[in-house]
């Protein structure tokens, strides 16, 4: 069986390599991709959209409907993760730690629970004493990561980056919070309901910008129609920024939703 799979893998790889021999060389000016549309984008994108980053101009303006459905795909990934993994049955075993003495109570009866307050804290099954160095370093790093994520979202049209990357960085800063403290600490600050609403709101912001452009008398996602409200100056760049913010919101929420559901097996109580 192992030999058979090896043969299949080698055969597929060989076929793929054979196929790539027909592809045009890297940077070939006569490649089909650089003969038609690319030239138009390179020559006219800055004049059309006033955005120096051509990749963002293509993704968020010329091909914005495509990007809208990519955002919808990310949203669907989060939704699928939620529907597959989320487990609403309450857990039977509870662990409580008496803070002054360090004694750990294991309560097996789900009806009897210890009141969590100053004396007792609710802990995970695999509980480790909190590490001061990790906590301090992460607490100092997380604000900078988040500011950088916002920078990436806001400068998507001037430098590499954009909603997807910024959203992923913002989401990973929240995941870092869950890793360095614990999952309960994250869920106390960012509730599941908030994440769900944020992921849907991101897609809604994107589509809303498109629909409002239609209401104002243009095509779907035609940012020029916002000119009477926001002014002529850099109106397409501004529209792209709005769209990127929507993408960033959706991606941030979906990354955290996927992480929480995977790491706690859908129970949302304990995990890394």
Total residues contacting other proteins by CB under 8 A comes to 25
Q: Are β-strands 94-98 and 120-123 bridged in parallel, bridged antiparallel, or unpaired?
A: antiparallel
Residue 111 backbone dihedrals phi, psi, to 5 degrees:
-80, -25
Copy the structure tokens of residue 84: 């597959």
For residues 10-29, which are near other proteins according to CB under 8 A?
26
**Residue found under tokens 């950088």:** 148
3-state SS, residue 51 = coil
**Residue found under tokens 């969590």:** 116
Span near other proteins by CB under 8 A; candidates 53-61, 111-119, 135-143, 230-238: 53-61
Which of 70, 123, 153, 162 touches other proteins by CB under 8 A?
162
Q: How far apart are the first and last CA of the chain?
A: 36
Span near other proteins by CB under 8 A; candidates 185-193, 198-206, 214-222, 264-272: 264-272
Q: Strand 120-123: give its sheet, edge to edge.
A: 104-107, 94-98, 120-123
Closer Cβ to other proteins, 192 or 224, answer by number: 192
Which of 165, 180, 182, 199 touches other proteins by CB under 8 A?
165
Contacts of 121 (CB under 8 A, 6+ apart): 96, 97, 99
Span near other proteins by CB under 8 A; candidates 15-23, 49-57, 207-215, 241-249: 49-57
Which of 161, 210, 239, 246 touches other proteins by CB under 8 A?
161
Contacts of 158 (CB under 8 A, 6+ apart): 51, 52, 53
Closer Cβ to other proteins, 213 or 256, answer by number: 256
Q: Is 202 in the site for other proteins (CB under 8 A)?
A: no
Binding site for other proteins (CB under 8 A): 2, 26, 53, 55-56, 152, 160-162, 164-165, 168-169, 171-172, 175, 179, 255, 258-259, 262-263, 265, 271-272
């Amino acid at each position: 069986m192992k030999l058979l799979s090896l043969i299949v893998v080698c055969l597929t790889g060989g076929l793929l390599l054979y196929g790539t021999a027909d592809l045009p060389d890297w940077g070939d000016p006569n490649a089909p991709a650089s003969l038609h549309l690319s030239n138009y984008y390179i020559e006219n994108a800055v004049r059309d959209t006033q955005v120096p980053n051509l990749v963002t101009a293509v993704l968020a303006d010329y091909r914005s409907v495509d990007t809208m459905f990519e955002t919808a795909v990310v949203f669907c990934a989060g939704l699928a993760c939620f529907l597959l993994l989320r487990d609403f049955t309450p857990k039977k075993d509870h662990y409580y730690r008496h803070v002054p003495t360090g004694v750990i109570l294991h309560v097996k009866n789900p009806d009897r629970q210890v009141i969590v307050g100053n004396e007792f804290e609710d802990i995970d099954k695999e509980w480790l004493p909190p590490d001061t160095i990790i906590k301090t370093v992460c607490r100092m790093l997380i604000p900078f990561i988040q500011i950088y994520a916002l920078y990436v979202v806001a400068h998507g049209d001037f430098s590499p980056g954009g909603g997807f990357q910024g959203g992923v960085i913002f989401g990973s800063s929240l995941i870092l919070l869950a890793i360095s403290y614990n999952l309960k600490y994250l869920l106390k600050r960012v509730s599941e309901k908030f994440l769900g609403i944020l992921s849907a709101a991101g897609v809604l912001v994107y589509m809303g910008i498109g629909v409002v452009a239609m209401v104002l008398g243009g095509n779907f996602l035609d940012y020029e129609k916002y000119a009477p409200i926001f002014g002529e100056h850099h109106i397409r760049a501004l529209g792209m920024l709005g769209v990127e913010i929507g993408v960033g919101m959706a991606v941030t929420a979906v990354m955290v939703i996927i992480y929480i559901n995977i790491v706690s097996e859908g129970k949302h109580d304990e995990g890394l």
